A = this chain, B = another copy of it.
Amino acid sequence: MDFNDTAEEAAYREKVRAWIAENTKEYEGQGAAKTNEEFVARQKSWQKKKYDAGYAGITWPKKFGGQGKGPMESIIFSQEEGKSAAPTGLYAIGLGMCIPTVFTHGSQEVVDRFVPVALEGEEIWCQLFSEPAAGSDLAGIRTKAEKDGDEWVINGQKVWTTNAHLCDYGIIVTRTDPSAPKHKGLTMFIVDMHSEGVEARPLKQMSGGSDFNEVFFDDVRVPDAWRLGDEGQGWQVALTTLMNERLAVGGKPRYSPDWRALLNLAKEIETVLGPASEQADVREEIAKAYINDHGVKLTQQRALSALSQGKTPGPEQSISKVVVAKQMQEISRIALDLSESQGFVKAEPGSELDRFQSSYFGAAGLRIAGGTDEILRNIIAERVLGLPGDLRPPKDTPFNELKPV
C-alpha cells in the first residue's frame, strides 16, 4: 500500500507538470470569458495544444489517435491540469463519452471522419439521451427516427443536454420501432447540431443558472451511414456510453464546500459559548463532512488503483454520488442555519457564504442528475449485493402497447 507515485508515475507527473506550466501561461489571470465565442475559443486553443503535444486521448487506443496509456497517466494529467490555469470542461462529455461510443460502434468511415477532428478539439460534441418522460428510465424515450431512403428523419425532444448550444455534433438515442419491446426498438445516431430542424433552448434551473438545454428535433435528417450500431441495437450502444459516464461522474462539484469550509465558517461565528466550531453539534457535522467527502475521495483512489492494475472497478463507484450530493445539501443547509438571518441574505458573489448558498441549490440538482439517489441505491443493491430487481410489468410487451400501472 503506497499513496505516493511510483518512480514512473513521478517521472510522468514531472514531465506533464513542466509542459502544462509552460503552455498555460497565456491563460493566467484571464477572468471568466465574457462571451460564448471567447469561452469556446479558449477551450479550443487548449485542446489543440494538448493534441499537438500528445496529451489528448491519453487512454484511447493508438489506432484512434490516442496515446494508449493507462488510467493513472490520465489521472495524473488531469490532476496537474486542474491545478493550472488551463481552460477545461467543454470536451468532457464529447471526448469522455460520445467519441468512445463513436469509435466503438461507428463504421470505419465514420470513425475516420469524426474521431481525429474531435480529438483535436475542432468539433464539439454533446449527448442527447434524456427526455421529459424518460429520465431514470432511459429506455422509455420517445424521440422517433423513421427511415426515408438512405436517411433517417428525427422528431422529438431531448432535455438536460449539456452545452447543446455550443456543440457541432451529438449522439442521439431514438425509437425506430415502436412495435418492438421497449429495449429493442431503439437505434443510435450521430446528428449534426447545425442541421435544419434542430433547436437548442437554454433550460433555466431552480438555482437560476442555465447549464443545460432542451433540444427540439423537427424533421431533422441524418444519413444512415451515421448510425451507431445496428438498427434496434440502440440500448446496447447507449450502455457503452453510460459505462463511460459512470467512470466520469461521481465526484464532488469543484465549487462545493467541504469540511474545511464549514470549519472556517464556524470558527468565525461567535456564540455565547465561544466559537461555533467548539460546539459538539457543529463538530459532529464537520466530522461527518470529512468522513463522507474524504471517504469518497479515498474510495475513488481505491477504484483508480484497481483500474491501474488492470482490474475493473465495480459499481462500488456508485456510492460516490449518493454520498456526495446529500452531504452537499446537508452541509450547506447547516452552514446557512449557522449563519442565521445572514445566511438567508443573498451573499457576495465568490464569498464563502455564496458557495454554501449555491451549493444548497446545486445539491438539489446533483441528487437527481445522472441517476437519482433512489436509482443509485437500487444499482448498489442489485449489482453489488445481488438483490433481485423491482417487480416490473412484462418486458416483452411492444412499446406502443405499454400501459403504465
- Give me the interface of A with B, judged by CB distance under 8 Å: 279-282, 284, 388, 390-393, 405
What distance in Å separates the Cβ of A252 from its nearest Cβ neighbour in chain B? Answer: 26
In the assembled complex, the Cα of A401 lies from the Cα of B88 at a distance in Å of 61
* Residues of B with C-beta under 8 A to A392: 391
* Residues of B with C-beta under 8 A to A391: 390-393, 405
* Residues of B with C-beta under 8 A to A280: 279-282
In the assembled complex, the Cα of A303 lies from the Cα of B8 at a distance in Å of 72
Copies held by the complex: 2
Report, nearest first, the 7 A-B pairs whose CB atoms are least far apart: A280-B281, A279-B280, A281-B281, A391-B391, A280-B280, A281-B284, A391-B405
Most B CB within 10 A of own CB, among A388, A390, A391, A392: A391
What distance in Å separates the Cβ of A280 from its nearest Cβ neighbour in chain B? Answer: 4
* Residues of B with C-beta under 8 A to A284: 281
What distance in Å separates the Cβ of A283 from its nearest Cβ neighbour in chain B? Answer: 8
In the assembled complex, the Cα of A405 lies from the Cα of B390 at a distance in Å of 10
* Residues of B with C-beta under 8 A to A281: 280-281, 284
Nearest residue in B to A278 (C-beta to C-beta)? Answer: B273
Nearest residue in B to A283 (C-beta to C-beta)? Answer: B281
Nearest residue in B to A285 (C-beta to C-beta)? Answer: B281
Nearest residue in B to A281 (C-beta to C-beta)? Answer: B280
In the assembled complex, the Cα of A281 lies from the Cα of B284 at a distance in Å of 8
In the assembled complex, the Cα of A392 lies from the Cα of B388 at a distance in Å of 14
What distance in Å separates the Cβ of A269 from its nearest Cβ neighbour in chain B? Answer: 13
* Residues of B with C-beta under 8 A to A390: 391
Q: 13 pairs across A/B with beta carbons < 8 Å?
A: A279-B279, A279-B280, A280-B280, A280-B281, A280-B282, A281-B281, A281-B284, A388-B405, A390-B391, A391-B391, A391-B392, A391-B393, A391-B405
What distance in Å separates the Cβ of A392 from its nearest Cβ neighbour in chain B? Answer: 7
| Given contact pairs A279-B280, A388-B405, A391-B393, a sample of 5 additional A-B residue pairs in the complex whose CB atoms are under 8 Å apart | A280-B280, A280-B282, A391-B391, A391-B392, A391-B405
* Residues of B with C-beta under 8 A to A279: 279-280
Most B CB within 10 A of own CB, among A280, A281, A405: A280
In the assembled complex, the Cα of A388 lies from the Cα of B404 at a distance in Å of 12
Nearest residue in B to A271 (C-beta to C-beta)? Answer: B280
Nearest residue in B to A392 (C-beta to C-beta)? Answer: B391
